[in-house]
Structure 1
Amino acid sequence: MADADLLPTDGFLSHASDFDAHSHGKALAGHACRFDLGAYRDELYRRHGVDFPPQLARAVNKRRGEYLAGRVCAQRVLQRLGMAPAQIAIGAAREPLWPAGAMASISHAGDRAVCVATLDIDVIGLGIDIERGIGPELAAEIRGVVVDADEEALIRAGFDDFPFGLAAVFSAKESLYKALFDQVRSFFGFEAMRLTRVDPQRLEFAAAQTLAPGVRAGQGFAVDYRREDDNGVRSIACVLRPPA
């Protein structure tokens, strides 16, 4: 449902809309928008009801604008879920600090920002990531960082378009990092999650090492993905509470 008419007419945010998503059988609420960094100015924080965080005092306008757009999306999603207005501050590891009861995630790429959230108590981790499309040259540059030879072979076998497949795996690993951070509470790289299977709109991974009691070596995780209109990708990782 488009709600661009609810936005201040400041030229910064546009194409704002709600969306619904599903992952692992769970319904998720989302909100997305576009933003114009050329129209960004600090006073927009007050206008959109978002606190300017001290952590951005020395940040460039690009980072300030991305943060603002992401937080506006987050506020819209929390409103959709019936939660009281809340500021989403920055944690010690630069993670968003969500209000009690909410599991959510933010991403931005280029001129787009997005947030997805749920109040489902069975969801113990949630991550979303959006990436712009990449070409063959960039794919060649980053593939050795994102995947190993076995993972690359799976991508080439599972995707007709290798650069898009690599972008999808890159995005999925980013989503998994966000979804598992609450359990792991420390940085882990692309090598910690190894691609094991490629299906239409779903990628499966196995933890290459034990990262936390609930994230053990060999444990499997699945990430849903979709191709965006600009040949970019959106991925969502949803981690459920283990059965009792």
Structure 2
Amino acid sequence: MDRNAFIHDAAPFDAQAHGQPLTGYACRFRLEAYDDALYPDHGLRLPPQLARAVAKRRGEFLAGRLCARRALARLGIASADIAIGPDREPLWPAGAIASISHAGDRAVCLASADPHVIGLGIDIESRIDARLAGEIRGVVVDAAEQAVIEAGFDDAVAGLAAAFSAKEALYKALYPQVRAFFGFEAMRLARVDEGRLRFLAAADLSPTVRAGQAFEVDIAFEDGGVRSIACCLRARG
């Protein structure tokens, strides 16, 4: 297959979280059209961290980086390679903060150049079935959180997928403040609102992320799955 067929249905989009305008770019990709030569074709370098990765990982990484380049370009920020940090986090160019996610054949990046945005996370997940939900439920939420899901969603499996996705997005958004890995148990689902989940930090994670502190994540069910956006803002004043 022609390598030019790798990326398709690519388009910009705009989003908001807590009233904050955000700039995005999304695409679909065909793994059967992936080739390592696509990296130099697009002016990118296959990172050494992916030297032993399977083709699927290399392909989805490339699709995410292409979305990132185009999202940043919409903000007037030129970017070549976006390096990988010590915790596998993207190292964004000065003046930008962004987040990448991919699921199935989809990739997406959300970005901002607003200095008040100090953390940004986007996560997309494909639909999960009852079997998979049973396998991950005890890892993603505890019994109290599961009760919140069952009370707040007509479909508890979809609700679990939303909680999973929202926690992933929140991890990405809080990483710049925490600078360390934390698990699903660190953020506990407290409330389900229309299009939004509220979490409480279960422990002190950093001087600015304290136990009991509340965080909200916007969610939307789309493309048969779920999309979550978390945005952390610098205190104004």
TM bucket (normalised to shorter chain) is over 0.9
Structure 2 runs not aligned, ≥5 long: none
User: Structure 1 counterpart of 2:58, which letter?
Assistant: R
User: Which residue in 1 is equivalent to 2:227?
Assistant: 234
Query: Which residue type is aligned with residue 239 of structure 1?
Result: C
Distance (whole Å) between structure 2 residues aligned to residue 84 and residue 139 of structure 1: 41
Stretches (4+) displaced over 3 A? none
1:86 and 1:99 in contact (8 A); partners too? no
Corresponding residue of 1:96: 90
Describe the SS at the equivalent of 2:206.
Answer: coil
Gaps of 5+ in 1: 1-7
The letter for the 1-side match of 2:235 is P
Counterpart residue type for residue 90 of structure 2:
P
Would the aligned equivalents of 1:195 and 1:205 in 2 still touch at CA under 8 Å?
yes
1:49 is displaced (CA, Å) by 1.9
- CA displacement at 1:46 relative to structure 2: 1.1
- 1:51 Cα deviation from its structure 2 partner: 1.6
1:62-211 → structure 2 map (5 Å cutoff): 62-211=56-205
Following superposition, the deviation at residue 72 of structure 1 comes to: 0.2
Equivalent position SS for 1:215:
coil
Equivalenced residues, count:
236
1:48-103 deviation per Cα after TM superposition (whole angstroms, max 9, x unaligned): 22221111111110110011000000000011001123321100110000001101
TM-score normalised to structure 2 length: 0.97
Is the contact made by 2:79 and 2:93 (CA closer than 8 Å) also made in structure 1?
Answer: no
The answer for the alignment partner of 1:213 in structure 2 is 207
Cα deviation per residue 1:77-135 (whole Å; 9 max; x = unaligned)?
01100112332110011000000110100000111000000011111000000000011
Secondary structure of the residue that 1:38 maps to in structure 2?
A: helix
Q: Distance in 2 between matches of 1:185 and 1:212?
A: 8
CA positional deviation for 1:9: 6.5
Q: Secondary structure at the match of 2:12?
A: strand
Q: TM-score, normalised by structure 1?
A: 0.94
Aligned mates of 2:59, 2:94 — CA distance in 1: 26
Q: Is the 8 A contact 2:220 2:228 kept in 1?
A: yes
d(CA) in 2 for partners of 1:211, 1:50: 35
Q: Deviations over 1:3-24 (max 9, x none)?
A: xxxxx96111110011000001
Distance in 2 between residues matched to 1:34 and 1:130, nearest whole Å:
13
* Residue identity matched to 1:31: Y
CA displacement 1:182-218 (0-9 Å, x = unmatched): 1111110000000011011100000000000110000
Q: What displacement does 1:242 show?
A: 2.3
